[in-house]
């Protein structure tokens, strides 16, 4: 019956986590998957989210509407666009609760493929693997635009601009507003201004995927690109995730926002998004979103939550600094300052596949083959070990 079904190779990140679990070495360290661990190596619930989650335990949850929880949708729109945002006052944003950030990407991809079938999608080189997967799965041809420059450990900004200028209208460009995954290398505000002006001139469709709001700098400054795109009235799509900044990974809490030229068109878009949802899963899950909304809808808890995310951000920064200090001491001839300059959960280390393999074989330290290291997996107890192992591997 199923002889013709081809085997699935598995996802590189999720497969590596399985390999890690099976590694019998007691001193093994997992720096592969994008999960935030605290200084004790545990996955913490922010206290604000824990409090909100406790309030809704053991209640029967009726179906949510196709578009999700109304209060949550409005609160997320404010978090992304800003409380005073003109586009929100003008009801120009179609907002849908989604199954995490992945669900938002898929919903947006399906919508664009239905209504702009000629469009191609362009993702940064490199990007989160599943960006390509989700858009190809929705029927798109996916290309990539120049982004990361290994020579400078920065952005190939001129090449990126030239590439955007060469794109046909309605091309979709997938952008990371903050904490670029996997490189940790972000655009500066003035670079965003330049890019978004090109996006406007060329009539491109910017799709901004924000999974780490609050981990880069502040909640407001991490949303700079989104708010600037709104000011320019671009046909903006935003996918966002609360997996990391609320530790709601398995609850699948996210949202898709689509900015339209006027309220009537935002309504049309919302209608078609609901139609897509109805035909895939009908309505989103309730438990996680009620916890998220319990936080976002309560002024005190929301403020507490933002401070808790800043504590996570600062802990990651402290681990970056520690890595940098040890490496600088061990290998003074090399410049490791990129470890402290990169933002968010990840560091693109520049390790080769062979070096990554050596880290795994010899030191039981797991990073991705691309050299992406999850800094949020480091703590006071393991950072020195990791830094010394890195120094040995880099010394070759």
Binding site for ligand PLP (CB under 6 A): 34, 100-102, 128, 181, 209, 211, 241, 243, 254
Nearer to ligand PLP by Cβ, of 124 and 349: the residue is 124
- Is the separation of the CB atoms in 254 and 243 below 8 Å? yes
* Alpha-carbon span 345 to 342, nearest angstrom: 9
Q: Which does 33 bind (CB under 5 to 8 A by kind): ligand TYF, ligand PLP, none?
A: ligand TYF
Residue 128 annotated among the catalytic residues of the structure: yes
Cα–Cα separations (whole angstroms), residue 115 to 112, 147, 272, 353: 5, 28, 10, 41
Residues 353-382 that bind ligand TYF (CB under 6 A): none
Check: CB of residue 240 under 8 Å from CB of residue 101.
yes
Residue 72 near residue 246 (C-beta atoms within 8 A) = no
Burial of 381 (C-beta count, 10 Å sphere; 0-12/13-18/19+) = exposed
Q: Which does 13 bind (CB under 5 to 8 A by kind): ligand PLP, ligand TYF, none?
A: ligand TYF
Q: Which of 128, 135, 324, 366 binds ligand TYF (CB under 6 A)?
A: 128
Cα–Cα distance, 257 to 351 (Å, whole number):
36
To ligand TYF, the closest distance from the beta carbon of 117 in angstroms equals 28
Beta bridge partners of 209: 239
Q: How many CB atoms lie within 10 A of CB 359?
A: 24
Query: What is the distance between the alpha carbons of residues 258 and 207, in angstroms, rounded to a whole number?
Result: 9
Nearer to ligand TYF, 14 or 86 (CB): 14
235 binds ligand TYF (CB under 6 A): no
Shortest spacing between CB 128 and ligand PLP, in angstroms: 4
> Does the annotation count 335 as an active-site position?
no
Nearer to ligand TYF, 81 or 242 (CB): 242
Our CB check for ligand TYF shows the closer of 33 and 200 to be: 33
Q: Where do contacts with ligand TYF occur on this chain (CB under 6 A)?
A: 13, 33-34, 102, 128, 181
Residues that are catalytic: 128, 209, 244
């Amino acid at each position: 019956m199923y002889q013709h079904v081809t085997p699935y190779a598995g996802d590189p990140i999720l497969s590596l986590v399985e390999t890690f679990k099976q590694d019998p070495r007691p001193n093994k360290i997992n720096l592969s998957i994008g999960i935030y661990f605290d200084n004790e190596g545990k996955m913490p619930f922010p206290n604000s989210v824990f409090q909100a989650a406790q309030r809704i335990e053991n209640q029967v949850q009726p179906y949510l509407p196709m578009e999700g929880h109304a209060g949550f949708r409005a609160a997320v729109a404010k978090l992304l666009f800003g409380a005073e945002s003109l586009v929100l006052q003008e009801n120009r944003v179609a907002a849908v609760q989604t199954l995490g950030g992945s669900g938002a990407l898929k919903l947006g991809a399906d919508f664009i493929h239905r209504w702009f079938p000629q469009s191609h999608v362009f993702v940064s080189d490199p990007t989160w693997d599943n960006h390509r997967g989700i858009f190809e799965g929705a029927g798109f041809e996916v290309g990539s635009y120049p982004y990361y420059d290994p020579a400078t450990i920065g952005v190939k900004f001129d090449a990126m601009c030239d590439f955007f200028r060469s794109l046909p209208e309605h091309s979709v460009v997938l952008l990371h507003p903050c904490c670029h995954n996997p490189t940790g290398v972000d655009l500066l505000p003035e670079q965003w201004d330049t890019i978004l002006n090109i996006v406007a001139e060329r009539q491109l469709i910017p799709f901004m995927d924000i999974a780490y709001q609050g981990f880069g700098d502040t909640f407001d400054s991490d949303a700079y690109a989104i708010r600037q795109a709104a000011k320019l009235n671009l046909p903006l799509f935003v996918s966002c995730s609360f997996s990391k900044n609320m530790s709601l990974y398995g609850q699948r809490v996210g949202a898709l926002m689509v900015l339209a030229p006027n309220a009537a068109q935002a309504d049309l878009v919302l209608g078609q998004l609901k139609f897509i949802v109805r035909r895939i899963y009908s309505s989103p899950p309730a438990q996680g979103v009620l916890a998220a909304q319990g936080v976002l809808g309560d002024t005190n808890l929301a403020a507490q939550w933002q401070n808790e995310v800043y504590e996570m951000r600062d802990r990651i920064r402290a681990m970056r600094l520690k890595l940098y200090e040890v490496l600088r001491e061990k290998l003074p001839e090399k410049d490791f300052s990129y470890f402290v300059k990169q933002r968010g959960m990840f560091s693109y280390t520049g390790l080769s596949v062979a070096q990554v393999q050596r880290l795994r074989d010899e030191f039981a330290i797991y990073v991705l083959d691309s050299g992406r290291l999850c800094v949020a997996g480091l703590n006071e107890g393991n950072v020195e070990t990791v830094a010394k192992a890195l120094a040995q591997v880099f010394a070759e």
